[in-house]
Amino acid sequence: MFNVQPLSKQYESEFWSEINNKTKPLGALGQLETLVIQVLNIQSEIHGKLIKPVQINYPHLLVFAGDHGIADYGVSIAPSAVTGQMVNNFAANGAAINVFSKQLGWQLDVIDAGILQPINSISIRRQRLGCGTKPFHIEPAMSHTIMEQGFVFAKALVHEKFNEGCDLIAFGEMGIGNTSSASAIMSAIMELPAVESVGCGTGIDQETLLKKQQLIQQALDHHRIPKENVLDILATYGGFEIVQICGAMLAAAERKIPIVVDGFICTAAAMIAKLIDPNVQDYFIFAHSSGEQGHDKMLQWFDAKPLLNLNMRLGEGTGAALCLPLIQSALAFYNEMASFEQANVVNVVSDI
Q: Which residues are catalytic?
A: 316
Peptide bond into 53 cis (omega under 30): yes
Candidates 1, 4, 23, 6; CA nearest to 336 is: 23
Alpha-carbon distances of 93 from 2, 85, 103, 214, rounded to whole Å? 33, 13, 12, 37
How far apart, in Å, are the Cα atoms of 211 and each of 208, 222, 239, 264, 304? Answer: 5, 16, 20, 20, 31
Q: Helix-strand-coil percent breakdown of the chain, rounded to 5?
A: 50, 10, 40
Alpha-carbon separation of residue 16 from 26, 160, 184, 286, 290 (angstroms): 10, 33, 40, 21, 30
Segments in 48-109 forming alpha helices (H): 81-91, 96-104
Q: Go through the chain and tell me how many residues it has.
A: 352
Separation of first and last alpha carbons in the chain? 52
Residues 255/162, Cβ–Cβ less than 8 Å? yes
Nearest to 339 by CA among 52, 56, 17, 41: 17
Residue 320 and residue 290: Cα distance in Å, rounded? 11
Output the 3-class SS for 175-244: CCCHHHHHHHHHHHHHCCCHHHHCCCCCCCCHHHHHHHHHHHHHHHHHHCCCCCCHHHHHHHHCCHHHHH
